[in-house]
């Protein structure tokens, strides 16, 4: 589509900036060179000033962004291909590998009832979240009702080194283990699953404001384009930083709560070896 622009923030690719503003790679490198000569910042603001680009031009195209999602699957991604990448509430509700694994240990979650049924017993998870993360139930409540949207990486040095160890098992599985202390819950998952890193694309509007460090308390809601413009300026900044400094710094992407990523929006699916080869990770 002529009006669509894809920014690949997982790499140092300049294609998004080139397509968005009708520039060439040489033009952008000239901007970097001039910024270096004058000692000025090579950020979005100076970029737009250098090329005399106004806000209307920034807002005029339909922006898509890439992101890297790390997951594990026991069925060669069959359920993920069927349902897409889904939020945590859907992952334990739909007929997914994760739901089947939990059921095999007598675990069933009810989002509607805010309850966990474990071997015939009902565990109440409807209490107020108090951020007491020494309490395993508080972790469950946080993950299921506050932080349940799809989380991926705009950029990261090595997704398999992330402290959450999502390349081994869903973080939520660790939270459940800490609640019920079932010794084989995680080990069994590790034994029967493989890790995949999925590179996908999604429309800018599907990403939450949190992805772009936007403080909604300071947003001027009288301006209909205010948040949209801030998002796009962040994207331009990130594309410039990736080119100048590399794309290794960790930046998370957060989808809006109701958003899933259909299989048709997958760009690449890597195993760990393929991912590290593609992203030149030693």
**Alpha-carbon gap, residue 270 to 256, rounded angstroms:** 25
- Please state the φ and ψ torsions of residue 152, each to the nearest 5 degrees: -140, -165
Residue pair 259/150 in contact by the 8 Å Cβ criterion: yes
> According to the model, what pLDDT value does residue 1 have?
54
Q: DSSP of 171-218, one letter per residue?
A: HHHHHHHHHH--THHHHHHHHH-EEEEEEEEEEGGGB-GGGGT--GGG
> According to the model, what pLDDT value does residue 282 have?
86
Secondary element (H or E) of residue 27: helix 25-38
Residue extents of the structural domains in the chain:
1-85+150-282
Residue pair 67/199 in contact by the 8 Å Cβ criterion: yes
> According to the model, what pLDDT value does residue 25 have?
97
CA gyration radius for the chain? 21
Spans of the chain, pLDDT less than 70: 1-2, 216-225
> According to the model, what pLDDT value does residue 214 have?
84
pLDDT per residue as tens digits for the range 161-214? 999 999 999 999 999 999 999 889 999 999 999 999 999 999 999 999 999 988
Record the pTM.
Answer: 0.94
> According to the model, what pLDDT value does residue 219 have?
61
């Amino acid at each position: 589509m002529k009006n669509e622009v894809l920014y690949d923030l997982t790499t140092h690719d300049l294609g998004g900036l080139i397509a968005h503003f009708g520039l060439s790679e040489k033009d952008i490198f000239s901007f970097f060179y001039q910024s270096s000569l004058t000692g000025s910042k090579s950020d979005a603001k100076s970029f737009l000033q250098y090329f005399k680009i106004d806000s209307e031009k920034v807002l005029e195209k339909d922006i898509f962004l890439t992101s890297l999602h790390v997951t594990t699957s026991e069925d060669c991604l069959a359920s993920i291909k069927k349902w897409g990448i889904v939020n945590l509430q859907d992952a334990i509700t739909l007929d997914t590998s994760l739901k089947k694994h939990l059921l095999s240990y007598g675990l069933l979650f009810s989002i509607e009832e805010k309850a966990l049924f474990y071997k015939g017993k009902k565990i109440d998870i409807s209490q107020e979240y108090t951020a007491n993360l020494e309490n395993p139930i508080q972790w469950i409540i946080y993950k299921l009702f506050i932080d349940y949207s799809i989380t991926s990486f705009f950029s990261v040095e090595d997704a398999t080194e992330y402290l959450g160890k999502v390349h081994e098992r869903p973080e939520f599985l660790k939270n459940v283990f800490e609640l019920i202390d079932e010794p084989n819950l995680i080990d069994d998952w590790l034994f029967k699953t493989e890790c995949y890193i999925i590179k996908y694309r999604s429309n800018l509007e599907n990403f939450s404001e949190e992805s772009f460090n936007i403080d909604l308390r300071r947003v001027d809601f009288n301006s209909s384009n205010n948040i949209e413009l801030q998002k796009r300026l962040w994207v331009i900044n990130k594309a410039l930083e990736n080119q100048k400094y590399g794309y290794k710094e960790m930046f998370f992407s957060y989808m809006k709560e109701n958003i899933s990523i259909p299989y048709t929006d997958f760009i690449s699916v890597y195993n760990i070896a393929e991912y590290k080869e593609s992203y030149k990770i030693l």
